[in-house]
Amino acid sequence: MSKKTVISMAVIRRLPKYYRYLGELLRNDIERISSKELSERIGFTASQIRQDLNNFGDFGQQGYGYNVRALRDEIGKILGLNKEYKTVIVGAGNIGQAVANYTNFEKLGFHLIGIFDRNPKLIGMGIRDIEVQDVDNLESFLKNNPADIGIICVPKEQAQRIADAFVKSGIKGIWNFAPTDIAVPEDVIVENVHLSESLLTLSYRLNESELFKEKIGR
Amino acid sequence: MSKKTVISMAVIRRLPKYYRYLGELLRNDIERISSKELSERIGFTASQIRQDLNNFGDFGQQGYGYNVRALRDEIGKILGLNKEYKTVIVGAGNIGQAVANYTNFEKLGFHLIGIFDRNPKLIGMGIRDIEVQDVDNLESFLKNNPADIGIICVPKEQAQRIADAFVKSGIKGIWNFAPTDIAVPEDVIVENVHLSESLLTLSYRLNESELFKEKIGR
């Protein structure tokens, strides 16, 4: 939280969406696009798009638009997709299995090297080519097989303990699916997926018009 | 996208976090808290907290702080948690099962009334008390059992078709886990959970310092 970021989180969170849309354009053999057309597809304004991309350099040419492939490759590099990452998942329940089975992550360069759980019914089970190991082996496994990203898919009560084990092993990136916030040193990055918060945002928005009708009617 | 919201999305997305923290305080028998203490726990500044909450009315008293229970109840109402919602899930794979098994949603008032899939191996399987039905039954089911929220957990190629069926049935809130954007009428609200975008945000942040070192070094 206190770490200064050079680019605002709002811009950063839009980059993966650009990356996804540009990939779809390429799959449809569209090699060139104006910021106006891109804007119509992606739903951000053309000036927003120009501003966002200007943060990272000088893409696009006046009167030509963007070269889709070059822009996608460049955004890929910005997103760190020119590298490979080793990942481990702790928690082989539904969420852990969903993440493990999401083959698109492999294509993006995120390679799963280990899955751990404490449930004897899950230990030994194969998910893709990987056998679920006892979570008691986590620390020794990470000592011998350093990972870049640790993925937490355990209940909230166990999340901090797993995060501590990740940090101890030198992992600098944690993807946290447990419905709680975890404490880590300043140089470790945590990205949360809090499903309840997403659902409550939806229920807020479903009730918003009504809510303000009441307030105004007071 | 074009729908005007009265409160900024940034504020709205913080509300569920307030709700969760205030719930944790209550479970620890803390009934009263200053905005400063709340700030230290939740990681937003005290002035941010006061600003956020002022959007919805006059909480907290000078010199007393916030009444935790009253504030939590009020935020719960703002989030629409004083109501009950009927939900259906389409896609009974890992993500669909994870959402179905997340019992906390029931406690918050979101009641799952149906799960659908097209895979014969999954149809007939029981998840909690609910039997997975053939997705071909979706429209007739929704006609007889109106739902408030439709949850999309199918591959991206099928997402729009399911969204269309939801809209046709009168559903006004869609929670979309498919890695694609779906098109809906203006009065339908879509909340996306795009896991790839979250993972790419993490890889960006892991590389950020390096990225800007390079740019500056040019």
Read off the pLDDT of residues A15-41 as tens digits, 9 standing for 90 and up: 999 999 999 999 999 999 988 899 999
Percent share of chain A, pLDDT over 70: 93
- Give the domain ranges of chain A: 9-78, 85-196
For B77, phi and psi rounded to 5 degrees? -65, -45
Return the higher-pLDDT residue of B107 and A166: A166
Mutate to test the interface with A, among B44, B104, B203, B210 (most CBs of A within 10 A): B203
CA distance B108 to B131: 22
A81 and chain B in contact, CB less than 8 A: yes
Q: How many helices (H) and strands (E) does chain B have?
A: 9, 9
Using CA atoms, how far apart are residues B195 and A72, in angstroms rounded to an integer? 19
Question: At residue B5, does pLDDT exceed 60?
Answer: no
Strand-pairing partners, residue A33, are A66
| 8 Å CB contact between B139 and B162 | no
* pLDDT over 60 (residue A216): no
B163-183 average pLDDT score: 96
What pLDDT is recorded for position B3?
A: 41
Average pLDDT over residues A150-154: 98
What pLDDT is stored for residue A4 in this prediction? Answer: 42
Question: Which of A41, A199, A215 is the best mutation test for B, with the most CBs of B within 10 A?
Answer: A199
Instruction: Measure the CA–CA gap between A90 and A149, rounded to whole angstroms.
Output: 11
- Preferred mutation among B55, B59, B79, B111 to probe A, highest tally of A CBs within 10 A: B79
Provide the pLDDT for residue A6: 67
Inter-chain touch B20–A78, beta carbons under 8 Å: no
SS (H, E, C) A121-172: CCCCCEECCEEEEEHHHHHHHHHHCCCCEEEECCCHHHHHHHHHHHHHCCCC
User: CA of B20, closest CA in chain A: separation in Å?
Assistant: 9
The answer to whether the Cβ–Cβ distance between A16 and B98 falls below 8 Å is no
The whole-angstrom distance between A144's CA and the closest CA on chain B is 22
Please give the class, per CATH, of domain A9-78: mainly alpha
Residue B96 in marked binding region? yes
CA separation for the pair B207, B218 (Å, rounded) = 17
Superfamily of domain B85-196 in CATH is: NAD(P)-binding Rossmann-like Domain (3.40.50.720)
Angle between helices A46-54 and A35-42 (to 10 degrees): 110
B4 against B18, higher pLDDT: B18
pLDDT at B218: 42
Please answer yes or no on whether B199 and A173 come within 8 Å at the CB atom. Answer: no
Average pLDDT over all residues of chain A: 90
**Does the annotation place B94 within a ligand binding site?**
yes
**pLDDT, position B214:** 58
Least confident of A182-196, B5-19, B36-50, B194-208: B5-19
Mean pLDDT of A137-161: 97
CB B109 within 8 A of CB B83: yes
Whether the Cβ atoms of residue A84 and residue A58 lie closer than 8 Å to each other:
no
SS3 B97: helix
Tell me what the mean pLDDT of segment A87-108 comes to: 93
Give Cα separations from A156 to A161, A182, B133 (angstroms): 10, 9, 31
What is the count of residue pairs from A and B with beta carbons less than 8 Å apart? 169
Among A202-216, B30-44, B165-179, which is the least confidently predicted range?
A: A202-216
Any residues with CB less than 8 A from the CB of A163 and at least 6 apart, and which? Answer: A150, A152, A174, A176, A182, A183, A184, A190
Q: What pLDDT, in 10s, does the model give residues B102-139?
A: 888 998 999 999 999 999 999 999 998 899 999 999 99
The length of chain A, given as a count of residues: 218
- Give how far A149 is from chain B: nearest CA, Å: 9
> Cα–Cα distance between A8 and A19 in angstroms, integer?
18
Contacts of B101 in chain A (CB under 8 A): 94
Three state DSSP letters for B113-147: EEEEECCCCCCCCEECCEEEEEHHHHHHHHHHCCC
pLDDT, residue B136, reads: 97
Residue A212: pLDDT band (50, 70, 90) is: low
What average pLDDT score do residues B25-42 get? 91
- Report the SS3 class of residue B86: strand
Give the pLDDT score at A218.
Answer: 42
Residue of A nearest to B81 (CA): A203
Confidence class for position B216, pLDDT limits 50, 70, 90: low
Residue of B85, B101, B195 with shortest CB distance to A94: B101
- For residue A30, the distance in angstroms to the closest alpha carbon of chain B comes to 18
Q: Could you tell me which residue, A169 or B7, shows the higher pLDDT? A: A169
pLDDT value, residue A65: 83
pLDDT score, position A75 = 92
Using the predicted structure, report yes or no on whether residue B169 has a pLDDT greater than 80. yes
C-beta separation of B127 from B112 below 8 A: no
- Provide mean pLDDT across the span A77-91: 95
Residue set of the binding site of A: 91-96
Distance CA A111, CA A115 (A): 12
Q: Looking at the complex, report in whole angstroms how far the Cα of residue A88 sits from the nearest Cα belonging to chain B.
A: 13
CA separation for the pair A81, A79 (Å, rounded): 6
CB contact B155 to A (< 8 Å): no
Give per-residue pLDDT as tens, A108-138. 999 999 999 999 999 999 998 899 999 999 9
Q: Tell me whether the CATH fold assigned to A9-78 matches the one assigned to A85-196.
A: no
The CA-atom distances, in angstroms, between A8 and each of A5, A58, A151, A175 are 7, 18, 24, 20
- Burial track A175-199 (b if 16+ CB lie within 10 A, e otherwise): bbbbbbbbebeeebbbbbbbbbbbb
Give the closest of B80, B83, B208 to A5, CB-based.
B208
User: Which of A116-125, B61-70, B86-95, B189-198 is least confident?
Assistant: B61-70
Instruction: Report the candidate in A167, A176, A153 with the shortest Cα–Cα distance to residue B98.
Output: A153
CB-based contact A92:A138 (threshold 8 Å)? no
